[in-house]
Structure 1
Amino acid sequence: MRGRGPALLSNALEAASPHPPCRGGRQMSRKMGKNASGAGRLLAASVLLVALCGVPAARAAEQETAGGGRTGGGDAEPAEQGKREAAASPELFSTATTALGIDVFRALAGKGRGNLAISPFSIEAALGMTRLGARGRTAEEMDAVLHIEEEAAFHTSAAAAWERLEAVAKGPLELAAANRIFVEERLHLRPEFVERTATLYHAPVERTPFGRDPEGSRMRINTWVEKQTQSHIRDLLPPRSIDPMTRLVLVDALYFSGRWASRFERSRTRPAPFQAYGERRVKVPMMRQEGTFKYAEVEGAQVLEMPYQGGALSMVIVLPREPTGLPALERALSAETLDRWLSALSPRRVRVSLPRFTLRPKRSIPLGSTLKTLGMPTAFTPEADFTGMIEAAGDRGGLFIDAAFHQVFVEVREEGTRAAAATAVVIRTRGGGGHRQLKPVVFRADRPFLFLIRDTKSQLLLFLGRVTHPRA
């Protein structure tokens, strides 16, 4: 749709399969402002999937009610709890998202020197849905990794974050998100889990034949992800990642399209040298413009913030002073450091040179070892407890995380940016203002740098990455 009436969250979009989704969660698919075409729009999509495998449940199917999106019956108490949780501020969720995003980014950055990008928002949102079903030590470790101090307040704040993104979508941007829970057709979910994921994360349930057709189910989910991310994330779930013991796949997707508030003139783009990691200088298309932007000089780096139309979202670029200074910046990166950098920003006349760049993944990144190292190893063992999601079959329901995958696409052009991200976590069974005018400062991004895309009001961190070679 086009026009002035759309909202951000399209959590109940039509799935690729002809099978209808179970009712639960709001259905929203709204796009704000004019659709930008080609490289002239900013598109960001982020998906997080959590797949759970386990022993078949005794009940063949949940009951669905037309009014409440419930599965398996039950009284109205879970729905009322979800409604109470849904009215809050996004601050807690935003703070936790930034902390987790930086933890994951630093862990991955230390494994190589190539280009890298993640979506902290999507990872936190999908793992947040998963946390609703965790219990015992599994829940405690997830709380530590997700930076959750008090669970109810965290989920309340998550709901507020989604509402904030809805508000952002009412500006001159295209913004959409979708959550969905793909469920084995014979599995019985706990009614309170269904209600809270629907109310807090707007995630409907869709029956999926994991047991009868695991490969078809994998392709079905990948097709859904591809649709939500405008075909930029393909084959998120690799071959053999889904088998007959898969029981749930929780999916979060984010799409963003917009233009720079001050766009680069294509006629001013010229080839220029860029000092790539471990290489001689390479020629890249360097975009140029001069204007007033928020800018700061911090220890060892320059920081530049470039807003998108409407000012609700922006890209922040952290450029090291030295061509080889990116590793030191990454070591210094923390939630506190990022807050200091952003707090130091103030309007300044800046002469900007920024390369066109594209980060296009060849395959998904395995995340399992990173999450275990960050502090949630129990979730990856037969001792994991996800009985808050399903009626337990055994002491803890027989579920544990087997693998996790992540994939991101980012493209920056004169008019804007396109980006997409996706993550899959597969869980298996253990049985199977005014300022003085100064001379413009020079911000020339001709060496590796960090970048992030954030909500300027809630500080919600949507994307975080680095560019070490614009043409890699």
Structure 2
Amino acid sequence: MSTRRLASSPPPPPLPETRFAPKKAIRAMSLSEFVAHQTAFALRLAQRVAAAESKKGANFAFSPLSLHALLSLAAAGTRGPALDELLAVLCPGATADDVATLAARVVGRVLADASAGGGPRVSFANGVWVDASLSLQAAFAEIAASAYKAEIQSVDFQTKADEITDQINSWISSATNGLTKSMISGRAINQFTRVVLGNAIYFKGAWADRFDASGTEDGEFHLLNGNSVLVPFMTNPEMQFMSSFDDFKVLRLPYRKRNDRRQRLPYRKGNDRRQFSMYIFLPDDRDGLWSLIDKLSSDPEFLNRHLPKREVKLGELKIPKFKISCGLDAPRVLKEMGVHLLFCGDGGLTEIADSPIARTLILHKSFIEVNEEGTEAAAASFMMLEGCCRAPRPPPDFVADHPFFFLIREDTTEAVLFMGHVLDPSVAA
């Protein structure tokens, strides 16, 4: 059909630019940008935690991916200034729909199980429990089910709070392979609870080059207070991914990949391209941990700029075995990061259910164990809602005999699953 205007037709009046000019298209956020925001969130949170834990002298671990996913799901049911606060912390420049779409892509791409092919066992589950006296908003239920693949259950909080607490704790235990038990106490869920949002993440990976248990020997680990403890150190004579910088070193310990035991075989079509690794950031100074964490959190590009890219021959490698089990005071840390309205009586959680939310409680617990075989880790997050050519140098050492920072990352997407610090590996949990 011709689009030429008839000669007898008068020209149309000009459109006022201020009202009718086409809006400039907003560029969609990429997955890599979203993951970068997730990592920035994780490192800022780690810095806040370090400031508090430095006074306690305790080991600490948490799952930034788990906590980020919980808050992202909550954002899908939040409006107004409370939503603005959440998005500013989670992913500046994104909308709640952006966050839901990208969070789903991260989960689908990063957290698929690879154990059947010899790779890491990975699982992630979301859940929504809503009191039978009310209904979820249709839009929220759709996002929870489609984007977050959440199990949605109607329950009776008003007369069976203890029973529902047991059911949810059983769900958490099952989702984390029994590593997280009795996470929610009877006081957290009560007759006033109306909605519970939660997720659980589990990871179990074997090292690409396992440590020989016969080489594990006790040695001194130096504490921040000047004392030392005797703990078992693992060692491995193989080449290692390690980089040295002015005042710290970084070690990369890859986990065995699916269908690729030697770790150096070229990719073949259909292979799982993910690569999970643990990174250990070891300050040169025995008391340099907090300063190092400050550096990591102050510059969003610091982490990627300082990851080792090649294998080197080490003179000595010593890594302590450790096990950490702990909880995170999530409300306190989130408030320090700028999330306040979520915890107010009218926190903007108006799009979750057809009843107002009067009170919000967030729980996060995690577990991690590192030994000669590899790593096993789990975490759960819950929200309860009420009403050149030179002379050769000696090979470098990597001796983690004083406090250090660590993280577990999927390297192709750069998504961080777990993060924490070790102050005293002699403390079993």
TM-score range, shorter chain: 0.7 to 0.9
1:123 and 2:67 are equivalent in the alignment: yes
State the distance in 1 between where 2:107 and 2:202 align.
Answer: 13
1:154 CA drift (Å): 2.5
Whichever residue aligns with residue 85 of structure 2, its letter is: E
1:173 and 2:120 are equivalent in the alignment: yes
Query: Which protein is bigger by CA-based radius of gyration?
Result: 2
1:405 CA drift (Å): 2.1
Say which SS state the counterpart of residue 333 (structure 1) adopts: helix
Q: Deviations over 1:402-423 (max 9, x none)?
A: x322222111110111112223
Regions of 4+ moved over 4 Å: 436-439
Structure 1 residues 385 and 156: alpha-carbon distance in aligned structure 2, compared to 1, 3 A threshold:
same
Whichever residue aligns with residue 349 of structure 1, its letter is: K
Q: Who is 1:349 aligned against?
A: 313
Q: 2:368 pairs with 410, 415, 432, which one?
A: 410
Structure 1 residues 308 and 438: alpha-carbon distance in aligned structure 2, compared to 1, 3 A threshold:
farther
Q: Who is 1:380 aligned against?
A: 343
Q: Who is 2:291 aligned against?
A: 328
1:471 and 2:416 are equivalent in the alignment: no
Q: Who is 1:271 aligned against?
A: 218
Whichever residue aligns with residue 423 of structure 1, its letter is: S
Give me the TM-score of the superposition, normalised by structure 1.
0.75
Whichever residue aligns with residue 95 of structure 1, its letter is: A
State the distance in 1 between where 2:392 and 2:421 align.
Answer: 31
The answer as to whether partners of 2:242 and 2:311 remain within 8 angstroms in 1 is: yes
1:167 CA drift (Å): 5.3
Consecutive unaligned residues in structure 2, runs of 5 or more = 1-27, 258-262, 264-274
Q: Who is 1:154 aligned against?
A: 99
Whichever residue aligns with residue 157 of structure 1, its letter is: L
Q: Who is 1:139 aligned against?
A: 83
The answer as to whether partners of 1:90 and 1:159 remain within 8 angstroms in 2 is: no
Q: Deviations over 1:340-398 (max 9, x none)?
A: 222x543222342101111133xx3322111112111111112311122122x4xxx23
Structure 1 residues 203 and 287: alpha-carbon distance in aligned structure 2, compared to 1, 3 A threshold:
same
The answer as to whether partners of 2:113 and 2:123 remain within 8 angstroms in 1 is: no
CA RMSD of aligned residues (A): 2.1
User: Equivalent residues in 2 for 1:445-456 (5 A)?
Assistant: 445-456=400-411
Q: Who is 1:11 aligned against?
A: none
State the distance in 2 between where 1:278 and 1:239 align.
Answer: 38
Give me the TM-score of the superposition, normalised by structure 2.
0.82
The answer as to whether partners of 2:357 and 2:385 remain within 8 angstroms in 1 is: no
Whichever residue aligns with residue 354 of structure 1, its letter is: I
1:462 CA drift (Å): 0.2
User: Equivalent residues in 2 for 1:29-178 (5 A)?
Assistant: 90-113=31-54, 114-151=58-95, 152-165=97-110, 169=114, 171=117, 172-178=119-125
Q: Who is 2:149 aligned against?
A: 202
Q: Who is 1:49 aligned against?
A: none
Say which SS state the counterpart of residue 153 (structure 2) adopts: strand
Consecutive unaligned residues in structure 1, runs of 5 or more = 1-86, 430-435
Q: Deviations over 1:150-179 (max 9, x none)?
A: 123322211211221255637522111111
Whichever residue aligns with residue 188 of structure 1, its letter is: S
Q: Deviations over 1:85-118 (max 9, x none)?
A: xx99632432222112112211111112310111
Structure 1 residues 438 and 455: alpha-carbon distance in aligned structure 2, compared to 1, 3 A threshold:
farther
Q: Who is 1:366 aligned against?
A: 329
State the distance in 2 between where 1:92 and 1:168 align.
Answer: 24
State the distance in 2 between where 1:167 and 1:115 align.
Answer: 29
1:323 CA drift (Å): 0.8
State the distance in 2 between where 1:167 and 1:253 align.
Answer: 14
Say which SS state the counterpart of residue 180 (structure 2) adopts: coil
State the distance in 1 between where 2:154 and 2:426 align.
Answer: 42
